[in-house]
Amino acid sequence: MNFYGKDIVILDGARTPLAHYGGSLKDVHPTDMSVHVAKEAMKRSNVEPDWIDHVVWGNASQSSGDAQYLARHICLKAGCPITVPALNVGRICGSGLEAIVTAARMLVVDDEYDFILAGGVETMDQMPFVIRNARDGLRYGKGVIEHWVDLNFIDTYNGLRMALTAENLVEKYKIPREEQDEFAYRSHMLAKAARDSGRLAKEIIPIEVPAGRRGETKLFGVDERIRDDTTVEKLSKLRPAFKKDGTVTAGNACPITDGAASVVVTTMEKAKERGLKPLARLVSYGAMGCDPDIMGIGPVPATKQALQRAGLKLEDIDIIELNEAFAAQYLACERELGNDRDSTNVNGGAIALGHPTACTGVRISLTAMYELRERSEQYGLATMCIGGGQGMAGIFENVT
């Protein structure tokens, strides 16, 4: 099974641990975070930097002043030749998966490309505060400070916060608060088990981060947002965060986090020529729009498109990573897709680990591929909803 005429494979990849808002990655530049995982992805893939023909990197919110140079600086700092071009891509929550798919498309249409470095990063901690119209001067006391993080969560097309689109799904699919809290608890407990067993550690490359005011550093190597001690009872006591008498809370929604992830994409032909052992094959992808008022349902049409393109049924999929922007959003998708929960988000999801926007698509794809290898299963699906009313999905096949 090939991807538009070519056998596209992912050699290997790596990610940072995910850090909570104000946590261990708050002072790490997104370029540096990305270079760290890019180098490790190449190392695990047994690929030299001078083999790379293009760099494609996802980033949704461009939190740094030099964000327009992001992919290019990753390319140069990761040791790739100066002649190698680089591309920033953005599809909000789907940006990381978009980077992988864009790399695959490049390999399909350009015979001069053999190896492409793809990834995604989000440093939500470093999103700036903004004072608009300051360039022309403001009357005393008239300057309004806006937080870029908060602005990112509002879809100005319909005026809705992302959490309110989840509340719309609650109403449409009649999802009780108790079910959302129970699902959130599941996410934390599965993530805890995966962390304690070392399953998550296989994806992670620890990173040196600032610690203290005297230039000290520490090694950060474990996802820090998992709540070991949470219970359904504790979650049930949290107040609705976005709507009076609503059901979406800080406990059953994904937290704000920072992180980066990377993979190396090539063709099976080139992998064999170099004696490399791929991790997985990219079988197909889907990207579809949906009603922005219920943007969280986006994985449903995207998954159906990816399955149709692959000639597969959902029952053929062994491992599913369906991003948990909100428990309500996941549960609405589950009602529509009819997926088996026991094979979905088996190592926990974004409610426990976090959702660093452009990193997520690479992170959940890598998790699905690693879990396929761990279980000796065949097909994996990675899918997510996207703000503004979209969904994206990728289907991967284990080739280890």
**Residues 325-377: pLDDT tens digits?**
999 999 999 999 999 999 999 999 999 999 999 999 999 999 999 999 999 99
**What is the pLDDT, as a whole number, of residue 132?**
87
Residue 197 lies in a domain: no
Cα(25)–Cα(19) distance, integer angstroms: 6
**Residues 16-66: pLDDT tens digits?**
999 999 999 999 999 999 999 999 999 999 999 999 999 999 999 988 889
**What is the pLDDT, as a whole number, of residue 135?**
82
**What is the pLDDT, as a whole number, of residue 141?**
78
Span 174-190, average pLDDT: 99
Residue 86 lies in a domain: yes
Share the mean pLDDT of the chain. Answer: 97
Residue-number span of the structural domain to which 366 is assigned: 8-126+255-398
Ordered alpha helix ranges (H), 83-154: 95-109, 148-152
Tell me which amino acid residue 282 is. L
For residue 8, give the nearest of 95, 86, 109 by alpha carbon: 109
**What is the pLDDT, as a whole number, of residue 283?**
98
**What is the pLDDT, as a whole number, of residue 139?**
82
Provide the CATH number for the domain around residue 302: 3.40.47.10
Give me the active site residues, please: 93, 385
Task: Output DSSP code: residue 251.
Answer: S
Residue 250 lies in a domain: no
**What is the pLDDT, as a whole number, of residue 366?**
99
Residue 192 lies in a domain: no
**What is the pLDDT, as a whole number, of residue 137?**
84
**What is the pLDDT, as a whole number, of residue 309?**
98
**β-bridge pairing 54-58 and 86-89:** parallel
- Measured over the CA atoms of residue 311, residue 317, residue 321 and residue 326, the dihedral's sign is positive
Q: How confident is the model at residue 214 (pLDDT cuts 50, 70, 90)?
A: confident
**What is the pLDDT, as a whole number, of residue 369?**
99
Span 272-288, average pLDDT: 99
Residue 138 confidence (pLDDT) above 80: yes
Residue 325 lies in a domain: yes
Residue 204 lies in a domain: no
Residue 278 lies in a domain: yes
Cα(58)–Cα(262) distance, integer angstroms: 10
Span 127-154, average pLDDT: 87
**What is the pLDDT, as a whole number, of residue 212?**
81
**What is the pLDDT, as a whole number, of residue 355?**
98
Total domains in the fold of the chain:
1
Cα(211)–Cα(217) distance, integer angstroms: 5
Cα(369)–Cα(22) distance, integer angstroms: 30
How big is the CA angle at 327 (ends 157 and 232), to the nearest 5 degrees?
A: 145
Residue 121 lies in a domain: yes
- For 26-92, give the DSSP string: TTS-HHHHHHHHHHHHHHHHT--GGG--EEEEE-SS--STTGGGHHHHHHHHTT--TT--EEEE--G
Span 60-86, average pLDDT: 96
Ordered alpha helix ranges (H), 137-263: 148-152, 162-173, 177-197, 232-236
Cα(273)–Cα(267) distance, integer angstroms: 10
What is the model's pTM?
Answer: 0.97
Residue 1 confidence (pLDDT) above 90: no
